[in-house]
Amino acid sequence: MKDSTDIIAKTVGNFINNPISRLIIRIICNDCKKCGNRSDLILRKYSGENINLCFKCEFLYAVLSLIITKAAKSFEVPKNEMKEYLSDTIFRRGLVNVLKGISYYGITKPQITYAPFLVVWDWTHGCNLKCKHCYINADKKLDDELATRDAKKLIDELADCGVVALSFAGGEPLIRLDFFEVASYAKKKGFHVSLATNGTLITQKVAKKLKKVGVDYIEISLDGAKAETHDNFRGIPGVFKKTLEGIRNCLKTGLYTCIATTVTKSNFEEIPEIYELAKKLGVQFLIFFNFIPSGRGKNISNQDITPEERENLLNFIYEKMISGSKPQVMCTAPQFGRVCMQKGTAVPTHFFTQEVIGKYAELCEFIGGCGAGRLYCSIEPNGDVQPCSIRLLFRPS
């Protein structure tokens, strides 16, 4: 007999994909002249807030409540949990993005959202380090980087489109003195704001400033458990100590802090030590990046690990992931989905196979594989848009 969740999911899909339902969803996602931001108000009311709506919005609330309840049931999410999710501003914004995408494009596999969930903004080409793997050859600030005023205008446009999360990367974002002004502006616009940094410029004062402007997530690069390994990879002596200081300053200030490690032959043997160091420091998250030989990384393309080494790495990450111990561990390797499913765990990232059944199959098909140009995109320092941060792979040298 077919899994009941699979049947419910398909029923919900058929209901939402109906042209009339899609039209209603599109109306829900438009503002009401009387009530204001209709979709946000309706979702907040569903979460339990006492909100008075006009007659039309009350009707639309009843329709959307039915859709949400059925969808939650299809993925076996209890109603009280769904209400808790919807009390979060970022979750509501993401759901509206999905619903609006469905209203325009219908239900697709993978789903086409109205706007990318995540935009990675290479905020500047300037950097204080000389990392061997840098995908944009970061060095000096470019002449055509967006000025503060234009950057805020871009944020307005992203907000109007329904983008949920904005990640400042680089280069080193903290090189630009207007970072805090622009990050604060993005936060006030309702974005989930994150920062990818080498950590060397995060003094206690800077960490407190990051906390004050509302940065939600800090990702600090650490490419070795030993100073020699990290400094050699980052191209500047003495940065290992500064990076650790930056991590500690973020944690002391109460910022959600992640360590990001790009895995190459130079640090492969230190992976267990990097995990133990992350655990000792007390970071909440540890992510291992695939090495992509683009930009400056083309010069060390022979430093990528072998398939056998990658398999060992992915098994190590899996064991740490399911152990439940801190920090949480994840990686960007698309092969990780295959490893998880072979071990009986469904991780709906990058990869889908018919072996996954029930609610996970529906979810994996819905999310799809690589989200470049669909679920996320990249913006260069001058404002040009690319489907992915790793864009130099597709450009002539």
Q: Which two tokens stand for residue 62?
A: 């009843």
Q: Is the dihedral of CA 130, 131, 133, 137 positive or negative?
A: negative
Cα angle at 92 between 195 and 111, to 5 degrees? 85
Contacting residues for 347 by C-beta, under 8 A, at least 6 apart: 336, 337, 340, 341
CA-CA distance, 291 to 293, in Å (whole number)?
A: 6
- Please name which of 64, 222, 44 lies closest in space to residue 129, comparing C-alpha atoms: 222
Quick one: residue 282, left, alpha or beta (phi over 0 = left, psi -120 to 50 = alpha)?
left
Helices 19-28 and 55-74 cross at an angle (nearest 10°) of 120
pLDDT 10s digit of each residue in the chain, 397 long? 344 445 444 555 666 777 888 888 899 999 999 999 999 999 999 999 999 999 999 999 998 898 888 778 776 788 899 999 999 999 999 989 988 998 888 888 888 899 999 999 999 999 999 999 998 889 999 999 999 999 999 999 999 999 999 999 989 999 999 999 999 999 999 999 999 999 999 999 999 999 999 999 999 999 999 999 999 999 999 999 999 999 999 999 999 999 999 999 999 999 999 999 999 999 999 999 999 888 898 999 999 999 999 999 999 999 998 888 899 998 888 888 788 878 876 554 544 443 444 455 556 666 777 788 888 899 999 999 998 876 433 333 3
Element (H, E) at 309: helix 307-323
Please answer whether residues 128 and 170 qualify as being in contact, where contact means their C-beta atoms are separated by less than 8 angstroms: no
Neighbours of 301 (CB within 10 A): 12
Return the DSSP state at 372.
B
- Within 10 angstroms of residue 222's Cβ, the number of other Cβ atoms is 28
What are residue 379's DSSP bridge partners? 121, 385
Please give the structure tokens belonging to residue 296: 């400056």
Residue 391: per-residue pLDDT: 44
List the domains of the chain with CATH numbers: 4-105 (no CATH), 118-334+370-394 (3.20.20.70)
